[in-house]
Amino acid sequence: MKPAALWVVAVVVAGLAGVVGGAARPSRGANEDARAIAEGRLPSGYRDWILISVAREEGELDDIRAILGNDRAIKVYRTGTRPFPDGAIIARIAWSYDSSEENNKTFGRQQSFIAGRPKNGVQFMVKDSTRYASTGGWSYAQFDDGKALTDAAKLRNCFECHKAFNDHDFVFTRYAP
Amino acid sequence: MKPAALWVVAVVVAGLAGVVGGAARPSRGANEDARAIAEGRLPSGYRDWILISVAREEGELDDIRAILGNDRAIKVYRTGTRPFPDGAIIARIAWSYDSSEENNKTFGRQQSFIAGRPKNGVQFMVKDSTRYASTGGWSYAQFDDGKALTDAAKLRNCFECHKAFNDHDFVFTRYAP
C-alpha cells in the first residue's frame, strides 16, 4: 500500500474511532466538530469561531483569507501554552481578492481590495495527538463547496508544508491582537 | 458653535444619555458595549465578535483588516434585513501588511502577506437611529492603543465617506460567507 493510501486508511480509521470512541476528553462541541470533519462533513458553526488572523496569498492561490479557531485553539493562542490540546481546530476560509470599485470611488483613489466569492475551499486542522500522530498530531481537511476533498495526495501536501513549522506545533498562523 | 463642535456635544450628550437612559431596548451586552464606546472605553470582548469580512487597503492606510460584528449586526448581515437595529455594532481592526518570510520560504516563492502589528486604530460604528440621527443613525469611534480619538474633525470624516453608502445603511462592508 502506498503511503498516500495508508494515510486515507488512517483518516477513515480515525473517523470511525471518533464515532465509536466519543471520548469525554474534548468538550462536546469540539468533539462533534472533529467527528464531523473526520466524516467529511463541515462542522456546524465554524463560521462563528473567533478570528485568529488574516492574510493575503498572491500567486496561484490569489486570495484573501481569514483564519478562525474554536475555543480550544483560541485559548492556546491567547495564553501561549503550546502545544495545542486535542480538540483544538483551526479553520481557514478564503475569498477572491477583488478590487472594490465602490470603495475606490468613495476614497477617490485605487486602494481597496475586498473579499469576493469564496475561493480555494475551506480548510481545517484538527488536533488529536494520538490519532494523527504520524502527521504531527493534526489531521488536515478541505471542503470545496461544502464537499470534502478526498484526494489523499493533496491532503498529504498540507502536512508537507506544515511540518516546516514543527517548532510551533505545525501551525503557520500567529494570533493578530 | 461650529458643526464639528456640535458633533462632539452630540457624542457626549449621547454618551450621557446612554448612562442615564440605559433603555431596555438593546440587550444588556450591546447596551453596555455601546455605552462603553460613547464614554471612550473599548468595549470588552469585541475581539471575540464574529467575522463579517476582510480587506486590504493600499495607499496611506497600507493595512490588512478584519471587520467584526456583534450579534445584532451579524443577524442583519445573515438575514439581509436592513436597516441595522439599534445596538448593532461593527468593529474594524487593522494590522500592518507584512511580507511573511517564513511562509514564503515554505512555499518556495514570494506570495504571502500576513497581519503584522496593530495599525490605524480600532474603529467602531454604533447604531442608534435616534441619538445619532444626524449621522445616518450611526456614531463613529476610533481607539488608538486603546485610547479614544477625540478629534471631532477626524471622526466627522468617517461619516463624510460612509454617507456615500446610504443605500445600504451607511456600511461599506458586505458579509463574506
In a domain, B176, yes or no: no
Phi and psi torsions of A23, nearest 5°? -55, 150
pLDDT at A17: 39
pLDDT at B126: 98
Q: Which amino acid is at A158?
A: C
In a domain, B117, yes or no: yes
Give the orientation angle of helix B28-38 with respect to helix B71-79, to 10 degrees: 110
Whether A94 has its CB under 8 Å from any CB of chain B: the answer is: no
Whether B103 has its CB under 8 Å from any CB of chain A: the answer is: yes
Structure confidence by residue, pLDDT tens digits, B110-134: 999 999 999 999 999 999 999 999 9
Whether B78 has its CB under 8 Å from any CB of chain A: the answer is: no
What ipTM goes with this model? 0.83
B172–A103 C-beta distance less than 8 A: yes
Chain B's closest residue to A118, CA to CA, is B177
Phi and psi torsions of A122, nearest 5°? -110, 125
Whether B1 has its CB under 8 Å from any CB of chain A: the answer is: no
Interface test with A, best of B100, B114, B175 (most A CBs within 10 A): B114
pLDDT at A15: 40
The whole-number mean pLDDT for each consecutive block of 10 residues of chain A, a chain of 177 residues, reads: 46 39 52 97 97 98 98 96 96 98 93 98 98 95 97 90 90 95
Measured in whole angstroms, the distance separating CA B59 from the mean position of its chain's CA atoms is: 20
Q: Is the predicted pLDDT of residue B22 greater than 50, yes or no? A: no
Q: Is the predicted pLDDT of residue B167 greater than 50, yes or no? A: yes
What is the tally of structural domains in chain A? 1
In a domain, A77, yes or no: yes
**Cα–Cα distance, A80 to A126 (Å, whole number):** 18
Residue for cell digits 447596551? B31
pLDDT at B176: 97
In a domain, B71, yes or no: yes
In a domain, B42, yes or no: yes
Q: Confidence class of residue B16 from pLDDT cuts 50, 70 and 90?
A: very low
**Cα–Cα distance, B123 to A13 (Å, whole number):** 47
Cα–Cα separations (whole angstroms), residue A123 to A65, A68, B44, B54, B124? 11, 10, 30, 17, 30
Write out the H or E segment, with its range, that includes residue B38: helix B28-38
CATH of the domain at B32: 3.50.70.20
In a domain, A174, yes or no: no
Q: Is the predicted pLDDT of residue B11 greater than 50, yes or no? A: no
Rg (CA), chain B: 17
Which among A54, A59, A107 has the least Cβ separation from residue B64?
A54
CA dihedral B77, B81, B172, B163 (to 10 degrees): -160
What's the mean pLDDT in B130-144?
Answer: 96
In a domain, A78, yes or no: yes
Domain span holding position A86? 3-168
Q: Confidence class of residue B28 from pLDDT cuts 50, 70 and 90?
A: low
pLDDT at A23: 35
B55–A161 C-beta distance less than 8 A: no
CA proximity to B33, closest of B63, B66, B68: B68
pLDDT at A28: 64
In a domain, A123, yes or no: yes
Structure confidence by residue, pLDDT tens digits, B42-89: 999 999 999 999 999 999 999 999 999 999 999 999 999 999 999 999
Apex CA A93: angle with CA A89 and CA A95, to 5°? 175
Whether B166 has its CB under 8 Å from any CB of chain A: the answer is: no
- A86 burial class (0-12, 13-18, 19+ CB within 10 angstroms)? buried
Which residues from chain B sit within 8 angstroms of residue A51, using beta carbons? 47, 51, 66, 68
